[in-house]
């Protein structure tokens, strides 16, 4: 198949999923064309089946807001026509689904009926998409897509309850490449962070409000009072300053390291003992899956798709949003006993194998093929 993928090319979960999916499809022999405004973060190598088309938005003094959606739609028309794509897969509803809809209508005037698959990732539905400034467009473009997928059943239910949806939604969960995310035993690195064999807790995110990063610090503070431990904070974003400030107030700066954005996240996860994800909303929790694949148990909130991933009492624990005390107690329970910690680590890895790329990729391939066949039958 010749597949066009539209995504946010950043470190965000939806961009990572789209990029990893494209790479997986390319290694299965499909031709994959990424159409975005810059090179996706994890697409920095050569492959004969991978192509990248940059969307450039013309600047003009009249534009207070450069019209990205129009530029994207025009680029989609161009790439679909000249690369003869079979299907377009857009990740994140805003503005990708509506740009794809516009491109689809324009392509019809050239006698091309391209099926459009929209994958909803979370904040496009739970936060941004619900805002009345976007809602009619989001509803329309979901209903007009030829196929719609969500990354968890929870997100599907939320989509159905927030919007007036007439289209069938298929759940295809996020996935993990276990060749990359594997425990890499970096003893020298572990020693540098935890010289006295302290337990290592880790959090990775974009440090947005929804991630509750100050809860991470507060949970760690309680754990740290009972168990010699270190906290690694990976990523960057608007709440980082507040989290750093809180560490100063709690006088735990010597035990907390803010590492900023990191590429080799699997190396950091490999030396970690526990992943903290106290988010107030999380459609799936890809960062938690990445941790589990490296054998790191998860203490998380019980919001959104997290209960579909993190198994209570087996791969970690789930508590109500904001229950810092509960999450700290769960963390201590896992970390205080070596045998128990080992059991949780093994179970976390085992659970991650349910989401292995090779199990999820065929679901997308089959879904694309159905949409392509359907469009052909209508022609």
Structure tokens that stand for 316 in this block: 């970690």
Contacting residue, 36, 98, 118, 123, with ligand GMT by CB under 6 A: 123
Q: Which stretch binds ligand GMT (CB under 6 A): 98-106, 131-139, 228-236, 280-288?
A: 280-288
CB of 131 to ligand GMT, least distance (A): 15
CB of 172 to ligand GMT, least distance (A): 10
- Per-residue DSSP letter, 59: P
If we measure between CA atoms, which residue out of 127, 122, 131 comes closest to residue 282? 122
CB of 17 to ligand GMT, least distance (A): 5
Cβ pair 38, 54 in contact under 8 A = yes
User: In the chain, what is the straight-line distance between the N-terminal and C-terminal CA atoms, in Å?
Assistant: 18
Cβ pair 273, 114 in contact under 8 A = no
Contacting residue, 86, 146, 215, 282, with ligand GMT by CB under 6 A: 282
Peptide bond into 235 cis (omega under 30): no
CA-to-CA distance for 319 and 200, rounded, in angstroms?
Answer: 21
Residues whose CB is less than 8 angstroms from the CB of residue 178 and which lie 6 or more positions away in sequence, other chains included: 293, 352, 353, 356, 357
- Residue with tokens 């129009």, as numbered in its chain: 70
CB of 341 to ligand GMT, least distance (A): 25
Peptide bond into 95 cis (omega under 30): yes
CB of 212 to ligand GMT, least distance (A): 11
CB of 84 to ligand GMT, least distance (A): 29
Considering beta carbons, is residue 279 or 319 the nearer one to ligand GMT? Answer: 279
Residue 206 within binding range of ligand GMT, rule CB under 6 A? yes
CB of 353 to ligand GMT, least distance (A): 18
- Residue with tokens 């007009």, as numbered in its chain: 144
Looking at the DSSP bridge assignments, the partners of residue 240 are none
**Site residues (CB under 6 A) for ligand GMT, limited to 81-120:** 92
Residue 22 within binding range of ligand GMT, rule CB under 6 A? no
Contacting residue, 210, 271, 293, 352, with ligand GMT by CB under 6 A: 210
CB of 362 to ligand GMT, least distance (A): 19
Cβ pair 306, 318 in contact under 8 A = yes
Contacting residue, 34, 220, 284, 364, with ligand GMT by CB under 6 A: 284
Contacting residue, 149, 174, 300, 310, with ligand GMT by CB under 6 A: 174
Residue 144 within binding range of ligand GMT, rule CB under 6 A? no
CA-to-CA distance for 251 and 268, rounded, in angstroms?
Answer: 24
Contacting residue, 95, 147, 285, 316, with ligand GMT by CB under 6 A: 285
- Per-residue DSSP letter, 131: S
Contacting residue, 22, 122, 129, 235, with ligand GMT by CB under 6 A: 122
CA-to-CA distance for 216 and 210, rounded, in angstroms?
Answer: 12
CA-to-CA distance for 147 and 165, rounded, in angstroms?
Answer: 12
CA-to-CA distance for 247 and 226, rounded, in angstroms?
Answer: 17
Considering beta carbons, is residue 87 or 151 the nearer one to ligand GMT? Answer: 151
Binding residues for ligand GMT, rule: CB under 6 A, are 12-15, 17, 92, 121-123, 126, 151, 174, 206, 208, 210, 281-286
């Amino acid at each position: 198949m010749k597949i066009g993928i539209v995504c946010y090319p950043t470190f965000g979960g939806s961009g990572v999923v789209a990029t990893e999916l494209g790479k997986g499809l390319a290694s299965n022999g499909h031709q994959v064309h990424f159409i975005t405004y810059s090179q996706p973060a994890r697409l920095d190598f050569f492959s004969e089946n991978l192509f990248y088309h940059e969307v450039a938005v013309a600047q003009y003094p009249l534009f207070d807001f450069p019209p990205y959606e129009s530029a994207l739609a025009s680029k989609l028309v161009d790439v679909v026509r000249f690369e003869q794509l079979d299907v377009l897969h857009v990740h994140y509803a805003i503005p990708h689904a509506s740009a794809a809809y516009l491109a689809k209508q324009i392509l019809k005037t050239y006698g091309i009926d391209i099926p459009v698959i929209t994958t909803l990732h979370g904040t496009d539905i739970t936060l941004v998409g619900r805002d009345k400034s976007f809602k009619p467009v989001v509803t329309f473009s979901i209903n007009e897509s030829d196929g719609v997928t969500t990354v968890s059943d929870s997100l599907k239910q939320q989509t159905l309850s927030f919007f007036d949806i007439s289209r069938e939604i298929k759940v295809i969960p996020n996935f993990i490449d276990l060749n990359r995310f594997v425990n890499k035993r970096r003893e020298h690195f572990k020693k540098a962070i935890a010289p006295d064999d302290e337990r290592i807790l880790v959090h990775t995110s974009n440090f947005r409000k929804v991630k509750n990063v100050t809860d991470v610090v507060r949970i760690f503070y309680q754990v740290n009072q009972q168990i010699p431990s270190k906290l690694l904070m990976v990523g960057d974003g608007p709440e980082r300053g507040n989290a750093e400030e809180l560490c100063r107030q709690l006088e735990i700066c010597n035990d907390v390291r803010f590492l900023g954005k990191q590429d080799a996240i699997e190396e950091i996860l490999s030396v970690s003992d526990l992943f903290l994800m106290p988010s107030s909303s999380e459609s799936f929790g890809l960062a938690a899956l990445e941790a589990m694949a490296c054998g790191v148990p998860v203490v998380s909130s019980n919001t959104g798709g997290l209960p579909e991933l993190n198994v209570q009492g087996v791969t970690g624990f789930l508590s109500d949003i904001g229950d810092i005390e509960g999450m700290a107690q769960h963390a201590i329970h896992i970390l205080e006993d070596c045998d128990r910690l080992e059991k949780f680590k093994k179970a976390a890895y085992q659970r991650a194998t349910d989401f292995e790329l090779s199990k999820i990729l065929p679901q997308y391939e089959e879904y694309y093929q159905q949409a392509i066949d359907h469009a052909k039958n209508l022609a």
